[in-house]
Structure 1
Amino acid sequence: MILTVQDLSIARGGVRVLEGVSFSIAAGQALVLRGPNGIGKTTLLRTVAGLQPALDGRIEAAPDALAYVGHSDGIKSTLSVTENLNFWAQVFGKSDISLALTAFELEPLADRPAGLLSAGQKRRLGLARLLVTGRKLWLLDEPTVSLDATAVAMFAAAIRSHLAGGGAALMATHIDLGLDEAEVLDLGPMRAKTPVSDAFDEDFL
């Protein structure tokens, strides 16, 4: 298994939001997190990525197996598209960015400063970073934000290629990417129980 999560409990802003979360992801597998806004999908992804601690439970994954893409595109506006990808490639000890440029059709924009890109183009560049990491497990929080239908298809193709190459993905998305390989985890049953207090005055201290 690339990732194993066992009896995980997590909090946002000091408030427990999910508990008893358990799942595993193997090579070639994608898992989509589903649930209403605020249930804790982003918090779960950040916890798996090591950006915040869990309250309880355990996460088993090699630290050098994970690549996380959150709501931020993670790009430098003063650098060109090529310079941004080269920067991230160097961070992860890689050098070839050609696949990333091709997969997200960024070749025509290669020399353009990232600050002059549209929102959708910036998102494509942010997602293209995944292809220069060499990491096996992609953690993706609403990756298709700002993407049109054509760009969503590019992203889905990149996911398929990653899975076919022995990679894996854990993502929160409301978009149907048409991935037959993807399984769905409904977080609704894992929503933390709200503690009930009968000490009325203490609630306001």
Structure 2
Amino acid sequence: MLFKCIDQQFHAGDIYQIAGPNGAGKTTLLKIVVGLIPALEGKVQWTFKQQPAAVCESLLYFGHQPAVNTSLTATENLRWYFGLNGTKSLDAAQYPSKSAFSAALDKVGLAGYEDVLCFQMSAGQQRRVALARLYLSDAPLWVLDEPFTAIDTRGVAALEQRIGEHANKGGIVLLTSHQALSLPGVKMLDLANFVPSEAA
């Protein structure tokens, strides 16, 4: 068991950084929160009806892997993401426009890559395609696993700004990062405080 007895509420407008050494269970905790793996004990309680579709539409998850389909273009990947999250049922006025997808890619330094197949991109560029979702998503909860990996200093600053904007609008951000954030008011959750006694 990596950790136990975590009793934590995540509130609208707050940013939480999960801390701990390698192997402490940071990624595991995030996967439990989003429902990718079950907790051995306890549960994650949402403030809305716990239907899978409702949970999916209420969160954005960014994992270690970029989760892009390399046989699709950058724009097609973003459209595919919105389809997976139930947004395909939205009418044309609500669905992100082509210009919105282009603007999101521009925000992550991929202007001009809209129609480039992702298998032709570097690993870092594929990761930025995935990060472009943050500029399109209104999901209340963002769960981000090492979002700053392979991002240059300018990109880190832009991403921090976007995370801050989301929190200022009442969103919740739960993330892991090996670097200190320059965002104000970040709340720390250190998994070292929840190590089972037999593993300490």
TM class, shorter-length: 0.7 to 0.9
Partners of 2:2 and 2:25 within 8 A in 1: yes
Which is further off, 43-52 or 185-194? 185-194
Partners of 1:88 and 1:133 within 8 A in 2: no
Structure exhibiting the larger radius of gyration computed from Cα positions: 1
Q: Secondary structure at the match of 2:182?
A: coil
1:87 and 2:64 matched: no
Partner residue in 2 for 1:168? 172
Give the percent of matched residue pairs that are identical in Structure 1 and Structure 2.
35
AA paired with 1:55? L
Which is further off, 128-137 or 69-78? 128-137
1:113 and 2:112 matched: no
Deviation at 1:188, TM superposition (A): 0.6
Q: Which has the higher contact order (CA 8 A, sep 6+)?
A: 2
Deviation at 1:102, TM superposition (A): 3.9
Listed as ranges, the gaps of 5+ residues in structure 2 are 49-54, 89-94
AA paired with 1:75? V
TM-score (structure 2 length as normaliser): 0.82
TM-score (structure 1 length as normaliser): 0.80
Partners of 1:45 and 1:141 within 8 A in 2: yes
Partners of 1:103 and 1:158 within 8 A in 2: no
Alignment of 1:152-191 (within 5 A): 152-191=156-195
AA paired with 2:161? A
Q: Secondary structure at the match of 2:115?
A: coil
1:28 and 2:21 matched: no
Higher strand share: 1
For residues 66-98 of structure 1, what are the alpha-carbon distances to aligned partners after superposition, in whole Å with 9 as ceiling and x for unaligned? 221111101111211111111112223062144
Which is further off, 93-102 or 135-144? 93-102
CA change 1:182–1:133 in 2 (3 A) is same
